Chain A
Amino acid sequence: MKAQFTKESLSHALQKVRGAVDEQTPLPILTNVMIEARDGKSRMIGTNLDLRITVSLTASVSDKADVAVPAKTLGDLVSRLADPDSSIVLSGDTQKGHIQVTAIGKQKFTGQLPVLSKDDYPKAAKIEGEVTLSIPSRNLLSGLRRTAVAAAMQDGRRYLTGVLFDLEGSDIKLVATDSHRLSFVRLSVGGKHAKKEFLVPIRAVQELIRCMPDDETAVSMTFTDRVAVFSTDGISIQTQLIAEKFPNYAQVIPKEFELDFRADVTQFMQALRLVSVFTDSQNPRITIKLDSSTMKISAVSQDRGQGDASVDVKYSGEPMEMAFNAYYCIDALSQILTPEVQVRIITAKNPCVLRSPDDNTHLHVIMPMRI
């Protein structure tokens, strides 16, 4: 092979594909990235078998080849090349088990990297019987950010560790729950689709949020029963789906309420942050006391002391008290982008809903703690 890549292009591609490369893995080939050096359309690929990220590379290729290169070594080399305008040339016979690496630019460097054959590198899944949609990247990312906060990062019940894509009619609904709280976003995708559900693992969601552009670029989403592929011009993220049934979320979202209050999101958030000094993840409880026009947020810790903060609210009900996990409230509020939040309540023991006032396209359901 012989191909020349700019530092910038390699560094950009590595930064993205390494999101799918695990340092610790039972299959040594997976610590490599695959470089496909082709005329005009070179690519770099990283995978852990569940997740596969493919990024386009700018390269000038005089002898094309596909080769698997150790991700960490190549990454370290590229990041330590001080000259931002430098390039790297990969050359040699890939059948020999190693290739030459040469830096071109202000720094003089030559080296040798062990390589593995492209035949040992896992192939992409076949896409059959698919549904394809397109959506502006910004909308997808905003929906994923808002829902991902409620997913479990790690749990034996895998259905809690993903974001559900529930396609029906012209909408796609994104839903995530860790069994204590749930978040819901409705996005319009146009067209008329039969109902179909796809459960995308949280790790793939995190990579989408990290890698996809936060602009109007169109993202094409392709789903089969087992795999989803999200792609734009320069990048494609393919993931296995979670083969478990997502809970019936519609029955969890309350429809009728007894009470509600509105508060300024920033003030509410600042008060929560102050009071949560007296909480920790093993004792995350805060209590909220509502009285006409004020809300008092309190927390008590056995060794840190206790604190109260008050916030003005619009509330016309009877005085009441509820308890919440502080972090669930902070996560939910962090995703409410309007100046005001509306909190809708049935009783202190029932799930309550946080949303932008009168907006049903995005909401968080939180189960209160016992008082």
Chain B
Amino acid sequence: MRIEHSIALLDADAFFVACERVADPRLGGRPAVVVADAKRRSVVLAASYEARPFGVKTGMVLHEARRACPTLTVVESHPALYLHLSSEIEKILWDFTDRVEMSSVDEAYLDLTGVLSYFHADAVTIGRRIQARITQDLGLPVTLGIGPNKLIAKLLADLAKPEGVREVRAPDVAALFEQTPVEKLCGIGSRMQAALAPLGVKTAADLGRLPVEVLLDRFGVIGWTLKHMGQGIDHSPVRSIGGRPGPTRFPGRYVADETVIPDEVKSIGHAHTLQTDTADPGIVHSFLFLLSEKVAARLRRHDLAGRVIHVTIRTADFDTLGKQRKISIPTSNGPEIYGVARGILNELWRPNPPPPAIRLVGVSVSYLSPRNAQPPLLPAERRRSDLDDLVDRINSRHGRGAIRPAAQLPAEKFGILTPPIPPHQHDSR
């Protein structure tokens, strides 16, 4: 028997603007845009739904947007805030399924196939619960599109925006495709649309009806992909990072042919924009330590370790510098990552002449492999790894950060650009 898959795409509505509204509720209900730098010639990174009727859209130059909408509120972007809220969304999603793929900062694919019977609910009901939980806990509006595969889920999310939940089951895909302009399919851009038009393709269904030979002849190997897209076929799995830590809530729910591929995720990283720019080495080092600890904890949560450590700094002048180093043994330990990151920082941020003030610090780890595949030989390393496990257990029981190294306190006191987040509310179900 063929299982009908239930794949959802969660897409946060006007994500950057929504994040800024979490930080500053006065932005609510007004036409607003987020730009990188309000002073310079800047482009719109995101526009609120209130701004869109004026013709304001992503990619527009700021002064054009101001001309289109004189009452526009302009907010400078805070990437660290978006990353933070994105990771908060991800945490909530893990409560609903153990198949979560964060495909971008504001989009995630979820495989709900195995959890429908666990929740005794249909996909739309689960979608609404996810939506309610994210709105309630984080104050962010989201849309979910649900379908038999990622292609359809993505299409549905676009159709249901904003704040919608919409599902199409496999038997109804053909009817939907008759009415769907082909360029609505994810992967069909304006150039492809123009190339398809002479072949008589207007709707997605038109594309599905074209003989594959015609497509192969015109487009080469991607002809097959186009044919499948037109037929609503997409076999790409939802690829989680190694999965959520600890025993899963959903044991044995998945068919074996969909093994999770851990190395699909290339790197794990964290960055913070500091509360104010600083050239104080004590503060910068403390941030580097805090970020190393965060990245290490996340690596361990995903049961991963990595060999390439990358440090990014952005100076007060917006110069962004980065450098990486490859170590011999994969690590998931905070102080170990810090040890390497500190060496890299010393190269990027030399004390002589006086170093520039720093605005942002980031640490990421890549070249990932399973964390516990190779046990250490040295007893001291074994103890270190046991200690990490213990700290993780304490933090998962008593809340993240319940136990943490004192070396990160100066950074915490100094502060980052993050709004107050409502305390994590446990799902009562």
Contact = CB atoms under 8 A, between A and B. Distances in A.
Given A251-B379, A252-B379, A302-B261, A154 B374 contact: no
Chain B contact residues: helix, strand, loop or mixed = mixed
A321 to B, nearest CB: 15
B340 A177 contact: no
**What is the size category of the interface that chain A forms with chain B?**
20 to 34
Interface stretch (A67-75, A80-88, A179-187, A332-340): A179-187
A282 B372 contact: no
A365 interface: yes
A48 interface: no
Interface string B338-361: 111011000000101000000000
B377 A282 contact: no
Q: Among the interface residues B350, B368, B380, which one has the most CB atoms of the partner chain A within 10 A?
A: B380
A282 B370 CA distance: 8
Q: Would you list the 7 A-B pairs with minimal beta carbon distance, nearest first?
A: A156-B339, A152-B328, A367-B377, A282-B369, A156-B340, A179-B381, A154-B327
Q: Among the interface residues B329, B337, B373, B374, which one has the most CB atoms of the partner chain A within 10 A?
A: B374
B29 interface: no
A251 B378 CA distance: 9
Contacts of B373: 285, 369-370
Interface in B56-106: none
Given A26-B350, A152-B329, A365 B340 contact: no
A285 B373 CA distance: 9
Contact of B367 (A177, A251, A282, A366): A282
Contact of A180 (B325, B327, B342, B376): B376
A36 interface: no
B374 A365 contact: no
Interface of B: 261, 263, 307, 325-329, 331, 335-340, 342-343, 350, 352, 367-369, 372-381
Interface of A: 26, 152-157, 160, 177-182, 247, 251-252, 281-283, 285, 302, 325, 349, 351, 365-370
B89 to A, nearest CB: 28
Contacts, number: 80
A179 B339 contact: no
A282 B374 contact: no
Contacts of A368: 375
Contacts of A153: 328
A57 to B, nearest CB: 33
A56 B374 CA distance: 47
B294 to A, nearest CB: 17
Contacts of A180: 329, 374, 376-377
20 contacts: A156-B331, A156-B336, A156-B337, A156-B339, A156-B342, A157-B339, A180-B329, A181-B377, A247-B380, A252-B378, A252-B379, A281-B307, A285-B373, A302-B261, A349-B375, A351-B377, A367-B375, A367-B376, A368-B375, A370-B373
Contact of A283 (B328, B329, B343, B369): B369
Contact of B376 (A179, A251, A302): A179
Nearest to A325: B374
Contacts of A155: 327-329, 336, 339-340
B303 to A, nearest CB: 12
A177 B328 contact: no
Contacts of A177: 377-378
